[in-house]
Every structure is written in structure tokens, then in C-alpha cells.
Amino acid sequence: MIEKPLKMVQGILGLLALVAVLASVLLQGGNTPIAWSLLALVLLSVLFIQMFIGQMTPVPLAVQRLVFPGLLFLGALGWAWVQAGTAFDPDYAHPFWSYVPASPPSISADPGQGRHALMRLLCYASIFLVMVWTCIDAQRAALALKGIAIFSMVISAYGLFAFATGYNFFLEDFATASLVQSTFVNRNNFATYGIFGVFANLAAVLHASTRQPNTLKAQLEGFFSGTWIYALGFLVCVGAVSLTQSRAGAIAGLFGLAVFLWAWPKGKARIWDKVMLALLVAILFFLALTSATGLTERLIATSAEEARFVIYPIVVEAIADRPLLGHGLGAFHDAFRPYVPMDVSGREWVYAHNTYLELIFGLGLPAATAFFLALILIFWRIYQGARKRRTNRVFSCFALACAATAAFHSAFDFSLQMPAVAGLFAAILGMGFAQSFTFSERKRTDAKEKRARNF
């Protein structure tokens, strides 16, 4: 009897946590110690309460299936914690510590940054788990989806407003007048965030359409009675992303869109599906000819040498120097400095511009492999949901498209290393994972638990 109110409390807490994740974007993408520290405190507190309540209610199937990926993830984070502590053997300490013999040596070149990075990863994991628990219920998942769609439209609209007026309240001196950045210092980071908004609004439109009869009249009535706001959000987000002039972001977004359109059709096509596909092609073509002129020029422009491609082989060489131990999670900025070649030494390499290489550089191959495998298992489950589910497939398709975009863009940039982007991505993955299990799978699990309780 008490189970229903407890689940309601879990849901309310989860949606409040999502509000905190979305609000973090206002503080320069959450990329300040105070922003990510407060976010981590809020999310860990919500997760603790949800897990406490979860002891008094049946454990959802989605949470049960997270045991193995969770162990892999915690194993990688456990190694990061070991790296940031005092080295258990001086021979394992990073070579940097030989220059400061008075300090206790660590495996990491920068233990302080390692602890910050570890806290951020724990925060993202908390967001993911909170959203899994929250979005078990399809109605709450729909509410979260609509919230993400509306908020991303507002943030994109603000970016367009700042671009048009030439004044950005949130960035001030960090703003670039010729580009849309919204609340992010780096346009590529906003491009990823905006693309998530594009897919959220597209998913919201499709979710609403599946609730209407498959007739043109019913679809149009549903559209003009409220769905139009998400169609507008789709246009606003696409326009803002195109004006970031982010080449990698645009290509990653198109890749994610292709994944979405590939995953969505199932069975007999609905009227709105065909209309949406036609509109997508028309809109993208229009933007390529008008507002995306700068982006189009950057896409077709060639450069004799891209600095990031110069350092990729050097990062691989640095990984080879400490393939098992790593240089320390979060230590790339300091640990990579001795490796920077002279021809690109004029730039400050805070990030590797390739999240995969940077994680391997920091954690070492074994721990990074465990980290990546945990994510792959989650992605695979979401893909299974998009392929197998008959109802509410839009959540899995949405999460799968965002995962494809993030995975592609991470090979060329560091958007997922921005707290607001990573936090939203974790929330989207949690939503998609929670809604990736079929009714029959959940029914079998409920039956087993019922038999176990009766026994």
C-alpha cells in the first residue's frame, strides 16, 4: 500500500534532479568548480534518498541489469582513486614526482585534478542512476523528455538572441560575436548540447504523434493543439547549432540524425513519420543554403594541417610510455606538456580533443577498457530497446541518437568533458536505458520476484 507513494517520491526527486542538471548549463556550461561541486552534492543526495526508498520497494529490472556495467565502471573509478593517492610502490609513481622528492609520490601526475575528475564522473553516474529509477514509469520519462526539449529550445533561443544583439549576459567577454555559443565558452560544446535538443524536440513530436490516431485529421489536430511547440523547438535548435559553425558538431549531428531515422521506423509507417522525414530534408537543405553559410564554408574548407591531428600520434606515444598505469585521470593538461611538439607548442593543450585517447592516457589501457565496456553495454541495451519494443520506443531511439552523436563528436572534441553536456547526456542515457526493456521482460521479472516473496 505504501509502495505507490514511495515511487511517487522517487519520481519527484528524479525530476527535481533533472532540473538541477539543466540549470547547471547557465554557469558557463557548469564548467566551474563551484558548479560541478554543487551539482555533485545535489545528485548524490537524491541518489542516496532514492536508493533508501528503493529498499522498501521492488528493484526495477533496469536497475538489476546495471550490476555488471556498474562493477566495470566502479572498477575504473577505483583505479582513478588509487592513482590520486600515494603510490603503493615508488617505482609506480609518475616520473614528475622525481623533481619534487619532498612530496609524497603518486601514480598520477596531478592528483588534485584526478580527484576533481573522479567527483565529476561520480556525479554523472548518479545522474544516470537517478534517471533510470525516475524513468521506469513511462509518464515520467515523457515528462523528462518534454522538459529537456523545452529547456534546450530556450537555451538555443537565448544563443540566437545573443548572436543577434551582440551581447551575451552569461559569457560577456568570453562571447564571440560572429558565432552562437549560448551559455558555453566553446561553440563545439554548445553544438553537442544543441544537437541533444534537436533530438529531444524531434522525439517529443514523435511521442505526441503516437498518442493520436493514425489519420491526417487527428495528427493535425494534435499538432496544432500543442505539439507545434516541439516542432518550433526543433527549428530553433537546428538554427542555433548551424550558427555555431562547428564542423565536427554538424557532422556528428547528421550522423546521430541518421541513426534516429534508421532506428525509428517499425512496421507500418505513420502519416506523421512521412511528413517529418520530408520536413527534415527540406529544413536541412534550407539551412545549408541560408543560415548555415558559414558552416558550409567551414565544412568544404581544407587545411594543410589541423593541430589536433598532429598531436593524436603524440598522445598515442605518451600512452605507450605508461600503458598499464596511465598518467592519471584528469592529468592531461600537465602530463602532456613534455610531449607537445614544437610546431604546435604555441597552443595550450588542456584537452586532447579526443576523449577516448585522453581517457586511455589518464587511466591506462585496463581501466579505460573497463570504462568503455560499461558504456558499450549500456548502449547495446538501449539499441535492443529501440529494436524490440513496440510501445514507447521513442525514448530508446532518442537516447541511441544522442549516444551516436556523442560517440562521434568525442573522437574530435571534448564536449562530454563539459559538466552540463555530460550531465544531460547521462540523464538521456538513464531515460533510454530505463525504457529499453520490453513488457514481457518486465513481466517475467515481476513474476519471479513475486514467487520469491511468496516462498
Domain count, the chain: 1
| Average pLDDT value over all residues in the chain | 85
Between 167-181, 280-294, 425-439, the lowest mean confidence (pLDDT) is in 280-294
Domain-located, residue 63: yes
User: CA-CA distance, 344 to 142, in Å (whole number)?
Assistant: 47
Q: Which residue has the higher pLDDT, 296 or 230?
A: 230
User: CA-CA distance, 279 to 195, in Å (whole number)?
Assistant: 17
Nearest to 420 by CA among 146, 182, 161: 182
User: CA-CA distance, 440 to 450, in Å (whole number)?
Assistant: 15
- Given this model, what pLDDT does residue 269 score? 55
Domain-located, residue 209: yes
Domain-located, residue 332: no
Query: How does pLDDT run across 70-108, given as a tens digit for each residue?
Result: 999 999 999 999 999 988 888 899 998 888 877 888 999
Nearest to 264 by CA among 321, 326, 199: 199
Domain-located, residue 345: no
Nearest to 330 by CA among 419, 411, 403: 419
Query: How does pLDDT run across 10-39, given as a tens digit for each residue?
Result: 778 888 889 999 999 988 888 877 887 888
Domain-located, residue 400: yes
What is the rounded average pLDDT of the residues 356-385? Answer: 96
Contact partners, residue 445, CB within 8 Å, separation at least 6: 61, 64
Domain-located, residue 391: yes
Domain-located, residue 187: yes
- Given this model, what pLDDT does residue 245 score? 83
Q: Which helix (H) or strand (E) holds 339?
A: none
Q: Which residue has the higher pLDDT, 292 or 223?
A: 223
Nearest to 254 by CA among 35, 30, 427, 409: 409
C-alpha cell at 242: 548551424
Q: How confident is the model at residue 280 (pLDDT cuts 50, 70, 90)?
A: low
Torsions phi, psi for 106 (to 5 deg): -130, 160
Domain-located, residue 333: no
- Tell me the DSSP string of 124-145: HHHHHHHHHHHTTSHHHHHHHH
Phi-psi sector, 251: left (phi>0), alpha (psi -120 to 50), beta: alpha
By residue range, what is the domain housing residue 21? 3-303+352-454
Half-sphere exposure of 442 (CA within 13 A, CB side): 15
Are 322 and 279 in contact by the 8 Å Cβ rule? The answer is: no
User: CA-CA distance, 128 to 53, in Å (whole number)?
Assistant: 17
User: CA-CA distance, 69 to 75, in Å (whole number)?
Assistant: 10
What is the rounded average pLDDT of the residues 114-119? Answer: 91
What global pTM score does this model have?
0.91
What is the rounded average pLDDT of the residues 299-323? Answer: 78
For residue 421, pLDDT beyond 90: yes
Q: How confident is the model at residue 304 (pLDDT cuts 50, 70, 90)?
A: very low
Contact partners, residue 434, CB within 8 Å, separation at least 6: 60, 62, 131, 132, 133, 134, 135, 136, 141, 395
C-alpha cell at 246: 562547428
For residue 260, pLDDT beyond 80: yes
What is the rounded average pLDDT of the residues 432-436? Answer: 94
Nearest to 23 by CA among 119, 154, 215: 154
